[in-house]
Structures are given as structure tokens and as C-alpha cells.
Structure 1
Amino acid sequence: MAVIPVELAGRRYEVRVGPGLLADLGAHAKPFLRKSHACIVADRNARKHWGETVARSLQAEGIEPRWYDVAPGEASKSWESLAHLTDWLLGQGVERGDHVFALGGGVVGDLTGFACAILKRGCGFVQLPTTLLAQVDSSVGGKTAINTAAGKNLIGAFHQPSLVLADLDTLATLPERELRAGFAEVLKYGVLGDRDFFAWLEAHAQAVLALDPADLERAVATSVAAKARIVAEDERETSGARAMLNLGHTFGHALEAETGFSNRLLHGEAVALGMVLAARYSARRGDISLTDAERLTRAVDAAGLPSEIAAMQLPCDGRALADHMLHDKKMDAGTLPFILLRSIGAACLARDVALDDVAAFLDEQLQAH
């Protein structure tokens, strides 16, 4: 098991990465349990696969699990879902000193974390991520949110978990498409700040995707450690350091919005496409070599992830995609900062990007190849 500390001003928590963590949940979670029961908010699919394991482990410690099921998919990150969940938690008598458990992927983690951020002005929660994407990204760092008609994750709060248990065994029950989508976020850490890790992933991607125990733990632990360093430096995204984690997301969120935040394009797939677009746009500006942009495209292709928006046959033009970006929560004084690349392993924050130019670039990409 790898243990990665997340060091924040005046507090810290751990991300534990390894197999068998849910089977031993009772022991890991004991310091966070004050009552004879525990509230668990679970993705229905995650509960189907892992509910018995979680229940047995808690019951072995004399803890009764109380379940709240959440439907899979981004539609569950809504005002209505938030209202129902908070009402249920209040009905269970959750107090400020209690901890709620979130079992599932990023949707459940985001929804539960936001509910805990606002319940009685803040109670604790423990992340039990069961997808690769959640293990390396959304479960770490304290960003919680719901979606609205205006866009994704526009209503939320910073609320850090007290513990994250990334059980690698859960990835064996993940559909292959979901696993590959999560791998996009693993690639991201190499692209934005660790050229050596990117090169290792080029050589070991298939082993990671085949769930080789040693390679999988290395990939997840390295990704988490990278995120933990950035979060420790810039917890609330005020200095610009944490903004680097948005590599691929500005383009990606626009594509998600255009496809209705649906299963047509999973979040990790959108990030993969977004990174390719960010690299190509960087090359268009002369910031990165075309060789590096092509290298990133090959890595995305090799992981079985989408790399061409033209192949999606979207019923829109570049202007429509750029307009989606106007709702990006990173907008500042009417300007949208973009995370671009100087090379693989060196991301940068660009504040001089004109959306008209982005629209023209996207028109080129929609018609290319």
C-alpha cells in the first residue's frame, strides 16, 4: 500500500492506494466513526459490486451501514439530487463531527462532498473512489460541485475529505471504457509536469490498463502524489499553480457541454481530446513543437482514447464550442485563461488567448483528418 499525505495549511489527510482497502474499511475508518452507524452515499453500480464488502468490514467493527443510493451519471449532480441527499443526511441525524462515506466515482464524490460542505455549515467525509478517474483526480483536493443548465461544476465549494481510500481491486469491476477514460487523467500528470512519468506511461500503458498490480499502483500513486503537491501549494486555485490541473479541461468541458454531458463523451475522454487540442493549439501559437503535439496524440490513441473531434461529427462549428467556454468558472474579468504547453512535461498559463482565434482553430479541427 502506498500512502500519500496531502499537506494543507494547518491540517493534513492521507490518500491510501492499494488492494484490499474496502475489505479492511472498518479498521481504516475507525478513527472517523463516533457512532454505531455510518452513512454511506453510493453509486448504485459501486454498491452492487462492493456493498457487501463494505458492510461486512463495518459490521466487524460493530458499525451499522446506512445506505443512500445515487443513480450513475452526471444527471445526479443536480440541485434536486443535492436537496434529496441533504434531507436524508439530516434525517439520519448527521452532526458536524460525523463523517459521511462516498462510495463510487467522481459524481458521487462531488455530490457527497458538496452536501457535507453545506450540511450544518460543514461535516466530515471520507472518499472511497471506485473508478480510476476518481482515484487519481476528483477524490483528492477538495473540489466539490454540482452541475446546472449553465455548465458543469459551476455551483460548489472547496471541502477536503478526511481520508481517501483508493482500493485498486475496485478497478477490476470497472467497464473497459471507464478505465480508459480514467487513464486520461493519469496521462495528464505526465503531460503537465513530469516528462519522465509520461515516458514511463508510454511504455507501460497497456500493463496499467490490464491492471498489472505493480504498474497500476505506481501509476495511481504517482498521479496522486503529483496532485497532492499542487493542491498543497495552491489549495483554492488562487496562485495559478492548481490551474495547471485544468489541462485539457477547457476544451474538454466545451465538448461535454455540446454533447449534453452524456455518455456520448465521458469526462476522461473529453480530457484526452482536450489535451490533444491544447497541444495542437499550443503548436499553432508556436509554444510547443509539432513533434511533441504528435507524440501526445499517439499516446492518447495508444490508450484507446479519442483524439480527433472531427470523428465525432458534431452538429456545431468552432464558434459554438468557444461560446460554451464563456461559462467556464475560470473566467476572470471577461478573460479566460488557458492551460497550454511549452513541451511535454511543462504546462503554462496563457492569459492572452482570444476566443475568436480558438473558434477558428476549432473550425480547422472539426474539418481535419
Structure 2
Amino acid sequence: MSAVSAPAPVRRVAIELGERSYPIDVGNGLLGQAATWSALPQASCALIVTNDVVGPLYGGRMAEVLRTRYRQVHTVVLPDGEQHKDWQTLNLIFDALLRHACDRQTVIVALGGGVVGDMAGFAAASYMRGVPFVQVPTTLLAQVDSSVGGKTAINHPLGKNMIGAFYQPQQVVCDLDTLQTLPARELSAGLAEVIKYGPILDMEFLAWIEGNIDALMARDPAALAHAVVRSCELKAWVVGQDERESGLRAILNFGHTFGHAIEAGLGYGAWLHGEAVGCGMVMAALLSQRLGGVDAAFVRRLHDLIRKAGLPVKGPRLGAERYLELMRVDKKAQAGEIKFVVIDRPGHASVTGAPDALVRDVIEQCCE
């Protein structure tokens, strides 16, 4: 195990989207630093959206910071878990906004993981047809993926993230200290989204992850900082070219077509999103091999890294037909044809269809 190193300096990554551009700040101790919040949007009121796990840890500190800038600061606490990413829980945010008579001069602050960020962002996009919001992700998965790029949504029983909006935050603040209170299972889930960037965009980064997986699992501050910053840089580059996922951005869903089927098939919350994505990447890598994009050694390499990250590499036996049924309502599907993100050469991905018979074979080979 690598020795723990000193905290990294604050790093800034820019999302370049013209008038919708915003910064991502990555560093240690950012929640308590006044300079972190100098770019907060002007407003008369702030609503912190958090959950019953993160709120007791960081909600008070967040409210204290916001009271120095806003006349009114309110908090709504949501139940924790993917199974609560639905209309009923979303309405708790709207209830709070209306109960406190929040107007258009309101900023919503998402303090939590990907579920909190997605729902707070969707609420911000919808309330009074749009109020500003800020992402303060406290999980690794949210820091490297879901808080960046403006995708907001809730789940439907028939499909994950099928109801939502593209709506960019004003600012993203990734305080790496929050990762020290993250349960081990959540840390592994976040590593799935870190690993994802290597096969699709940056093989040097994949090699770095392989060489530093022990340090990442040990929560080494410098290793975590590099993983978060590089992941954000890669996602920023993609989002800057394709904000609304009309083409290139779809490659960021590597492993997600299979993964979303696992989540929906088991029931949201049974597997964490990152666990399903990790397993889904193994399936997608095998499909990539069967389509001629990579060799068996590449598949084994990715399989071994995902396993070392503490993620499942065998999918649940839902039945191949059930997988196919669930994948046909994936957002990338077109006219009922399932689309997969595959590796057509190491470090480069594309979106393609595949024969059902081949997909069935992959599912059977990858499920226990």
C-alpha cells in the first residue's frame, strides 16, 4: 500500500460552454474556505438539498457559509438511496421551495452524491422555469461524473434517468476531504466512473489507474486529486464539444447500457450505480472483443482492474431476454434497436448496434 501523501493544491477545471461556462474546483478543505464561494450566484435565498446521511456531516457547515452571502438559507433533507430518485422525493424539494416562498432570486445548492445532484438540478431546471444551482458533490462518483455536464433526471420504474433536463450548474466544488467519510462500497462505486475514462479516451490514464489502484483504495489525497481532476478534464473536453449528447458525449455511457439494465432489473438501490457500471464495462468490453475492436488481453486487463477496485465482475442472472427488454428503453436506443458503447480500439469508443444473438451470448458469459 502506498504511503499517504500531502493534500494537493486547489485545481480548477473549466467547462467551456459559452455563456453557460462554469468552473470545477478540486481540493481539500474547500467547504470551509471563503474564497471557494466568491463566484456564487447573486440571490436573496438559498436552499440546500442534501440527504439524511450527508446532511448531519456537512449540512451545518454548508449553511454557515451560505448565511454569509444570503439573507435566507433553508435546508431540505431527502432520504438516501437510488430507490428514492423519483417523483415523490423530487416533490419534497418543490414543497420546500414553495413553503418558504422562494422566488426566482433563489439558488439551489446540491450537497451530496449523484442522486441528490440529479434531483436538485432537475428541481432547479423546473422551478419557476429555472433558477441557478451549485453542485457540491460529496461522493467520488459524483465528483468525477454526475455533477459535471448538466445532466439532471429522476428514474422511472421502467427506465433509469428517463425523465429530466439538461441544465448546467453555476459552479461545482469538489472537496476531497468529504471522500474520507465515504463508505468503502461507495468509494469503489466511484472508481468505476474513474476507470471508464481510460478505455474510451485516455489509455495513459488507464495505466496510471492500474499503477495507483492501491493508493486510490487507501484514499491517498494526491492520488484522489489526480483521479478527480483528470476525470473532470476528460469529461469537460467531451461536454464542451457535445453538451446535449447528440453524438460524442454518448461514449461516456460505456458500460451503462448493461449497467442500467442491472439496476432496473434488480430494483433501484440493490446495486449501487457504480457497481452496475463496473460490471457493465466488463460486458461491454467482451462485446467489443466479439465485434473485433479489442483482443482478449484487453478484456482481461479491464476485468482485473475492475475487480481490484472492489467492483462486481459478474452480472446477476436476470435472464438474457429480460436484459434485452430493459435495454430497449435505454436513452440511446433508436426505434427499439439497442445501442452500445463499444471500444473499437484501445482509447477510442463508438456507439453501435449488435445482433441480439451476440448480446445474449455476452450476457450468458458474464452472468453468474
1:290 matched to 2:296? The reply is yes
1:339 matched to 2:341? The reply is yes
Cα distance, 1:87–1:62 mapped onto 2, change above 3 Å: closer
1:250 matched to 2:257? The reply is yes
Q: What letter is aligned with 2:60?
A: E
Would you say the 8 A contact 2:42–2:105 is kept in 1?
no
Segments of structure 2 that go 5 or more residues without pairing to the other structure are: 1-9
Classify the secondary structure of the residue corresponding to 1:22: helix
Classify the secondary structure of the residue corresponding to 1:235: coil
Q: What letter is aligned with 1:13?
A: Y
Following superposition, the deviation at residue 136 of structure 1 comes to: 0.5
Partners of 1:243 and 1:226 in 2: CA distance:
13
Counterpart position of 2:287:
281
Classify the secondary structure of the residue corresponding to 1:10: helix
Would you say the 8 A contact 2:47–2:106 is kept in 1?
no
Q: Which has the higher mean CA deviation after the structures are superposed, 200-209 or 131-140?
A: 200-209
Partners of 2:108 and 2:34 in 1: CA distance:
13
Classify the secondary structure of the residue corresponding to 1:102: strand
**Selected match of 1:12 from 9, 13, 21:** 21
Classify the secondary structure of the residue corresponding to 2:216: helix
Following superposition, the deviation at residue 29 of structure 1 comes to: 5.2
Would you say the 8 A contact 1:289–1:343 is kept in 2?
no
Partners of 1:57 and 1:83 in 2: CA distance:
26
Counterpart position of 2:148:
140
**Selected match of 1:86 from 81, 88, 94:** 94
Deviation string 1:288-344 (CA, Å, 9 cap, x unpaired) is 1111111101111111111122xx4x3x32111111101111122232221001233
1:259 matched to 2:259? The reply is no
Would you say the 8 A contact 1:106–1:129 is kept in 2?
yes
Partners of 2:210 and 2:33 in 1: CA distance:
33
Q: What letter is aligned with 1:291?
A: A
Would you say the 8 A contact 1:230–1:241 is kept in 2?
yes
Would you say the 8 A contact 1:318–1:366 is kept in 2?
no
Cα distance, 1:231–1:27 mapped onto 2, change above 3 Å: closer
Classify the secondary structure of the residue corresponding to 1:144: strand
Counterpart position of 1:299:
305
Deviation string 1:132-157 (CA, Å, 9 cap, x unpaired) is 00000000000000111211111000
Would you say the 8 A contact 1:318–1:361 is kept in 2?
no
Partners of 1:27 and 1:271 in 2: CA distance:
32
Would you say the 8 A contact 1:41–1:67 is kept in 2?
yes
Counterpart position of 2:180:
172
Divergent runs of 4+, >6 A: none
Counterpart position of 2:360:
359
Matched residues, percent identical? 43
Counterpart position of 1:155:
163
Would you say the 8 A contact 2:194–2:231 is kept in 1?
yes
Would you say the 8 A contact 1:26–1:58 is kept in 2?
no
Q: Which has the higher mean CA deviation after the structures are superposed, 168-177 or 37-46?
A: 37-46
Counterpart position of 2:5:
none
Q: What letter is aligned with 1:133?
A: L
Classify the secondary structure of the residue corresponding to 1:32: coil
Would you say the 8 A contact 1:180–1:303 is kept in 2?
yes
Would you say the 8 A contact 1:183–1:268 is kept in 2?
yes
Following superposition, the deviation at residue 234 of structure 1 comes to: 0.3
What is the aligned length?
A: 359
Segments of structure 1 that go 5 or more residues without pairing to the other structure are: none
Would you say the 8 A contact 1:145–1:155 is kept in 2?
yes
Q: What letter is aligned with 2:228?
A: V
Following superposition, the deviation at residue 26 of structure 1 comes to: 7.7
The CA RMSD over aligned residues, in Å, is 1.7
Classify the secondary structure of the residue corresponding to 1:145: strand
Partners of 1:151 and 1:25 in 2: CA distance:
41
**Selected match of 2:243 from 228, 235, 249:** 235
Partners of 2:172 and 2:34 in 1: CA distance:
11
Would you say the 8 A contact 2:286–2:362 is kept in 1?
no
Partners of 1:326 and 1:153 in 2: CA distance:
14
1:219 matched to 2:240? The reply is no
Q: What letter is aligned with 2:81?
A: G
Would you say the 8 A contact 2:111–2:117 is kept in 1?
yes
Counterpart position of 2:6:
none
Counterpart position of 2:322:
320
Partners of 1:271 and 1:65 in 2: CA distance:
36
